Structure 1
């Protein structure tokens, strides 16, 4: 589907626009934001989001990192591959090709929701070799029982019906509908944040890619492989997350012995958008502990 967000129109006031560039890799034209200096931090947003998700966190991280934040395959202003490539393996491979094109070797990989699964899959497959993975409300575990048997066929049916993304996009132009959608995650965003999501979910091409991604998503191999992850892993879980409850992080910590769990009260699934300063501080501390950053000495009076 070609009804993607238009950079000259929808991107005219895109957050951190001066850091944006377009790069051709893996047969796609990627929208990527690069800012800051220091060890490379690769950021991967969640399903249905884009680089706007990092609008306030990325500049904070750029104080100590070279931040590289793409719109993932099919999302935002990045072009859409064949629908079968919008899978965990396919998106991981495509993102690794982009990293090679940019000639970057991430020292830290920071993923939100499904983005955490992508970065962890890349690490397990040797496509990147970060010293630390930071999972922000990471979507690591599949639906179980009857939910899985119902959800996957339904998602495939919706993704392959060209009318469905248009219907979603039509509803996505309603501010009240988007407000309810975001509130349903347990997070509260300001008016600017809600407008940016409304811009994306009002695009049939963006919605189609998100639906195709959900239709192709299979986390069972990742769960099987998690115990062999040797990279340091910080699991940040928000107690008010209604999309990925903290129990997911607790179960992942049982599978990955070296994982550290950080519970944060009062925030939801989009915690990094609600309180970016709080999340940045957690990342800096973890990066120092993992040897990605040198510990900063406190100034004494």
Structure 2
């Protein structure tokens, strides 16, 4: 399936000291607001296929996260989870919206949950995590990788060199295939375009260098015990980026959480099966209405 940005319209916005690229469904916006948060190294366009299935029900707000796509990065390069959450909260305030539900993919799922813990989603009735990166990397990788990423952010030429390498279509195809997902030509072209941007590569690296989800699950366990909210964790069984079993582990640790393994899908499940997001969200919102 080729990417089709409709029914999303891109616009520029200012919030939290950043210039944002934000995609929204066109007015009228009488429908309830749904916030879609992409993962590290992606952009709001990754939701384009799902948007067609969601727009009849929701008014969509789909930002490029700081340092990604068309949104500015932080001037000092410190793209931590709490700081990213504060930036998105500032965007929501500037856009004068309060989402009734949020869908987050990979690191975007951790961001969604941090926003909820911080009280930035007062009207949220349901949260949907897709292939959520909600636990630290296991073993030595969890210690070494952030240190390595921080070291790489100090190499000014690295994003430019990586962008040159990304001009090779086969390299991008191999990168996409390594996630366990099988995407069409349009989706692969989206990632090739992103990876040709040194600023995007720098933003993704800065996010990886400063990302710490260690406190997330314990904080969620405490909050959900006293303030239940419909939460679903869904993950592709073929995901080779964030193992599917991690979402199952987190779901078992959080009271009342729904767990949905997705057969024959990889890390980019929402791009492989765009209608899936609407189906999962419908199930979750039905639970929220009881």
Helix, strand or coil: the match of 1:138? coil
Distance in 2 separating the partners of 1:84 and 1:158: 12
Distance in 1 separating the partners of 2:263 and 2:221: 28
Q: 2:235: which partner in 1? A: 237
**Which sections of structure 2, spanning at least 5 residues, go unmatched?**
none
1:275 Cα deviation from its structure 2 partner: 0.8
Q: Residue by residue, what CA displacement relative to the aligned partner does 1:256-281 show, whole Å, maximum 9, x if unpaired?
A: 11110011100100010011112321
Question: Structure 1 residues 291 and 38 mapped into 2: Cα distance closer, same or farther (>3 Å)?
Answer: farther
Q: 2:12: which partner in 1? A: 22
CA contact (8 A) 1:85 1:91 kept: no
TM-score between both structures, scaled by the size of structure 2: 0.92
Distance in 2 separating the partners of 1:163 and 1:100: 36
Q: 1:273: which partner in 2? A: 271
The CA RMSD measured in Å over matched residues stands at 1.6
Helix, strand or coil: the match of 1:16? coil
TM-score between both structures, scaled by the size of structure 1: 0.89
Which of 185, 189, 192 in structure 1 is aligned with 2:186?
A: 192
Distance in 2 separating the partners of 1:117 and 1:105: 18
Helix, strand or coil: the match of 1:205? helix
Distance in 2 separating the partners of 1:104 and 1:81: 23
Which of 120, 123, 126 in structure 1 is aligned with 2:119?
A: 126
Q: Residue by residue, what CA displacement relative to the aligned partner does 1:210-262 show, whole Å, maximum 9, x if unpaired?
A: 00000001111213312123221111111101011111111111221111001
1:152 Cα deviation from its structure 2 partner: 1.3
Which of 210, 213, 223 in structure 1 is aligned with 2:217?
A: 223
Distance in 2 separating the partners of 1:96 and 1:197: 26
1:37 Cα deviation from its structure 2 partner: 4.8
1:163 Cα deviation from its structure 2 partner: 1.4
Distance in 2 separating the partners of 1:216 and 1:250: 25
Distance in 2 separating the partners of 1:63 and 1:142: 37
Distance in 2 separating the partners of 1:220 and 1:213: 15
Q: 1:182: which partner in 2? A: 176
1:110 aligns with 2:97: no
1:138 aligns with 2:158: no
Aligned residues: 280
Question: Structure 1 residues 14 and 74 mapped into 2: Cα distance closer, same or farther (>3 Å)?
Answer: farther
Distance in 2 separating the partners of 1:147 and 1:270: 22
When structure 1 is superposed on structure 2, of 178-187 and 138-147 the one drifting more is 138-147
Q: 1:167: which partner in 2? A: 161
Q: 2:203: which partner in 1? A: 209
Distance in 1 separating the partners of 2:138 and 2:214: 10
CA contact (8 A) 1:45 1:72 kept: yes
1:14 Cα deviation from its structure 2 partner: 7.8
CA contact (8 A) 1:74 1:210 kept: yes
**Which sections of structure 1, spanning at least 5 residues, go unmatched?**
1-12, 293-301
Distance in 1 separating the partners of 2:8 and 2:88: 22
Q: 1:71: which partner in 2? A: 64
1:82 Cα deviation from its structure 2 partner: 2.4
